[in-house]
Homo-oligomer: A and B are copies of this chain.
Amino acid sequence: MQPTDNSPALTLAEAKAQFIHTWGVSGASWGVSKTLAQVHALLLVSPAALSTEDLMEQLTISRGNASMTVRELLDWGLIYKELRPGERREYFIAEKDMLQVTRCIIRARKRRELDQMKRSLDQLAALPGDAADADYRAFHSALTDIQQLATVSDKLLTRLMQ
């Protein structure tokens, strides 16, 4: 007797929906909004470009939300506008090369978080103080260690972006 799998296989649409859900959850735990991640996921697995209307419909989100999310994804460089001659409506298509996608994400996050952090650290490290004070020395050395880590990370990320 050949064992046959009785559970109904996922349809393509269900598989896509599940992927969009997973991508949304992941995004949320890295500090980006669930909708942003979901719109990105939907466009990643769409062979064709989609309009704002399509996004609203397929993800049941509002026009405003769709508009702002799409703008942010354009800003990250993760999606492109596709303009069709003679049509008013804008279509969006995702960068499909995952290496490029990675670069975009690293570039954006580095700029927003790491560079900002380095600036704060530099400012704090400039604090003049009494080198005889153990407490001051401890703080300063902690700061220097963190700065060094920031510098190393910066170099590594820059290299990863090629």
Q: Which of A105-155 contact B (CB under 8 A)?
A: 112-113, 116-117, 120-121, 124, 127-129, 133-136, 138-139, 142-143, 145-146, 148-149
Number of interface residues of A (CB under 8 A): 44
Partner of A129, one of B12, B29, B128, B142: B12
Q: Knowing A113-B29, A143-B19, A148-B98 touch, does A47 contact B138 (C-beta < 8 A)?
A: yes
Interface, chain A (partner B; CB < 8 A): 9-10, 12, 15-16, 18-19, 22, 26, 28-31, 44-45, 47, 96-99, 101-102, 112-113, 116-117, 120-121, 124, 127-129, 133-136, 138-139, 142-143, 145-146, 148-149
